[in-house]
Structures are given as C-alpha cells and as structure tokens.
A = this chain, B = another copy of it.
C-alpha cells in the first residue's frame, strides 16, 4: 500500500501515528494511506522563514513567474497520470479531472505571464502620485510590498490540483513561502503535484503537509497569512483561533441562476441557461463551490424549464467515473454522501419534487459500493421564504427551481437571501433589466455572470473560475478574495502609503 509522504523542511517524510486510508469513492477500495502526524512542523516554519524567505527575496517577479511557468509545464508533462489519480481518488470523470488539473496549469501559466510583465520592480505601485503638501514637492504614493512571513494554504477536497495551484501561484509570485495542506481524502493528486514541483523550486518555497493539520496553525506568527477554502463551520473555528492572523476564507455559497423575463428557452441565451444549470449541478457531482444551487425562472417558463431539466438529467449516466460512458461519478467521501443525503431530506420537507430522489444504481460498480447520489431537482413556489434553500449549501448534484414575476429587484432579493455567494448568473438580452439586476445583486456576489445571446458561443460558464477575475464572495461565502490578476497578490503583500519628497517617491517605483 502506498504511504503518502509529506514534503517538509527539505525532506520527504511519512510521519508517524495511526494510518488513514484513502479510497476510490466509486468502489471503496483502499488505494493509499497517510499517517496521522509526527511531523516537525516547527522545523517546517523555520525552513520557510529562513531558506524560503532568503530564496524568494533574491528573485524578481519575473523570476518567480518563470518558476510558475515551470510548474505549469510539469503538470502538462504528467497530465494523463494526474487525470488517472483524480479519477481513482476523487470520483472524477475524465472531464471533471481535466477541469481541475488543466485549471491548475492554466492558473500557474497565467501568473507566470503576469510575473514576466511585472519584471524586476521591488514594489508595485497602487494608484497615481498625490500632492499632500502645499506644493507638488510634498507627495504621497501607495505601494504594495512583499510581506515577510509564511503563507499557510488549507485546501478543499474537491479541487486538489487547482486549489493547490491557484493559491500557490499568487503567494509565490507575491514572494511568500508556502506551506500547503491539501484535504486528506483526495490527497493523491496534490501529493503527486508536490513530487513534480519539488525539484523545480528553491529550498523552502513550497512545503506540503499530507494528512491532518495537527498543530500547524499554532506556529503562525507576525506577518504570516492563512488562506482557507472549506466549510463555514471550520472557517468560524479558524477565525476564533487566529484573531491576529491575516485570514482569507472561501466558504459556503448558495449560487443562483436567474432566467430573465425576455428569454425564450429555445433562444441562444435560453439554451445557454439550460446548459449552464445542468452542467453546474452535475459537473464534479455538484462538488463545486461555484455550482448552481438555486434557480429562478419567470412563471411562464417554469414548467418548460422543469421539463427540460428532467429530460437532460434522465439521460445522465451515473457510475464508475473510470468508464467512458459515465457522465457523473460518486461524491468524494462517505461523509459527503451522508451530508448531501441529510441536505436533500431537509430540502424535501420544504419543496416539491421535479426530478430524482438521490437514489441511483450506479453503472459498473459492485452492488452497494460507492458514495453515489443521483441528481435531484426540487421546486418551490415560495422562492423568498423557503428557508432550507437559502441557509444550507448541499454540496452535491442538487438544485431547486422557483418561479418569479420577472422583476430584477425580486431576482436580486432572491440572491440576497443566500447572504453572500461566490457567483450568481443571470440570462437576459434586455440591457435595462440587466442594469437593474446588477446594481441590486452585486453587493451579494463576488462575481456576476451575465449570459446573453452575444457571448453564448464562447462563454466559459458561471462555474469556471478564471485567474483574471476575482474569486470569493461576501458573507456566507467567507468574505475573501483570491485571483483577479494582480489583485490576487495583494493578500500576500502589504499596502503602504509612502509620504515624502515627490522625486524620492518616484525613484522608488522605477
């Protein structure tokens, strides 16, 4: 049995203690093991603060970007192997696995290019010079400076490749050494990435703890930052545990999709809407933080939308994701399956059936094995008052459809009931409706995806996180921000207002 080692303080070590099995969630076969602890985490922090800090200080943005480029290439070189690991350990179909792995490589190469563009400056300028005295001589200039400290990355189980890469890209380009802790259940992909990346990076720049976090966060000190992706319950614990540490949280999100009152289902925008909703509730078995959990459609289209979803989902093949004919695999863990089933039960008590119950007979799997839940669509005629719809993220292939009067204000209020989300989408070719919608809904979303006829042919879909656009959301979604081009570096930097002689300030940015 493969035992997954951690890469800490310059060495690979298995750790010690009890063994936790990693399984194939389709077959429940044990495919690897991790130890429960026994790592010298204090030494890992020292290594980051000494070697990692020294190595990064010696590199320009362009040089750090070149490192990210090498990591991206390494992923491309091992792509098939990584996809196989994701299928075996993550319950991913080949498509799901590519979404994760290619997404990671793309994000690394995006930040590699940004590094080349930033070049050899020491400080990044923030805005224009300002006059702060009687004459232009006395000036102010905001800058972003590399933080000194360690970046701790706590990643979620659903994107072992992309999650590791997107956080690493920003931290490393900004100039902070990283200790990453992938989720244990799906650690095979992250572990292989750590093996691929290790020889390509200077000492101390990236360390990877495979297995439980243990006392990891007890070692944080001034200058350190923690970026966390996961459930809101854990996020609350972290906030209370780390009141003095800079913390970025990406947590629960009840993303919505809104069909505008002007859109026919047979139109380009209507087709895009249906395709996005069905894909974003079933891709990665609904285990995407950006998946569509709530759908609002004009009363006149309500029946047609339900019918179209039934039709598309009826033909969805669920089973062993290693098979070519399977379109949706299992959930990643038994715990996830139990949580999703509990969520469905809560929803069932407050909504009506449209499609599915969650029960499914998976293709190509020994009877009774695997953490499978089939797609479920529910509906409610009380979209604003359906409490479980707005208060609980069901992290699986489950969504709820509701009718509305077509008013943009109602759609925005529906989104607001989720108390903050990562992304929501609206489909309309009516610019006035879109303008009203955006103004009212934007405070509740980190991203708003505006589907329309004109962009339908080249849309990446609302569920795809792009490195150039901010990822994160207010309130329930954690209040954090990642990516967004250069914005993604800011969490790992300190904004500082410089004040002094204008020519001195100018020389500092050249």
A residues neighboring B (CB under 8 Å):
122-123, 127, 130, 132-135, 137-138, 140, 142-143, 145-148, 222-223, 232, 235-236, 239-240, 243-244, 246, 416, 419-420, 431, 434-435, 438-439, 442-452, 454-455, 458-460, 462, 466, 468-470, 474-476, 479, 481, 484-485, 487, 493-501, 503-505, 507-508
Contacts and interface: CB of A to CB of B under 8 A. Distances in A.
Contact of A134 (B235, B240, B458): B458
A137 B454 CA distance: 8
23 contacts: A127-B485, A133-B455, A133-B458, A137-B454, A140-B466, A143-B442, A145-B439, A145-B443, A148-B416, A222-B420, A222-B476, A223-B416, A223-B444, A244-B475, A431-B504, A443-B494, A447-B497, A448-B496, A449-B499, A460-B499, A462-B499, A470-B495, A484-B497
B133 A460 contact: yes
A240 B460 CA distance: 39
A156 to B, nearest CB: 19
Nearest to A238: B243
Contacts of A132: 460, 466, 468-469
A130 B110 CA distance: 13
A142 B244 contact: no
A110 to B, nearest CB: 11
What are the 6 A-B residue pairs with the smallest beta carbon separation, nearest first? A450-B500, A145-B442, A469-B497, A133-B458, A222-B419, A239-B243
Contact of A446 (B134, B416, B438, B496): B496
Contacts of A451: 500
Contacts of A455: 133, 137-138, 500-501
A25 to B, nearest CB: 31
Contact of A504 (B135, B246, B434, B508): B434
Given A138-B455, A138-B460, A466-B499, 15 more contacts: A127-B485, A130-B469, A132-B468, A143-B442, A148-B416, A222-B416, A222-B420, A223-B443, A223-B444, A239-B243, A438-B498, A450-B504, A470-B495, A481-B495, A484-B497
B498 A130 contact: no
A459 B496 contact: no
A270 to B, nearest CB: 16
Given A435-B507, A455-B138, A468-B140, A447 B499 contact: yes
A465 to B, nearest CB: 10
A500 B452 contact: yes
B504 A458 contact: no
Nearest to A149: B443
A478 to B, nearest CB: 9
Contacts of A503: 454
A273 to B, nearest CB: 13
B222 A499 contact: no
A438 B147 contact: no
B459 A133 contact: yes
A114 B444 CA distance: 25
Nearest to A251: B244
Nearest to A418: B222
Nearest to A240: B240
Given A452-B500, A481-B495, A458 B507 contact: no
A244 B236 CA distance: 7
B497 A448 contact: yes
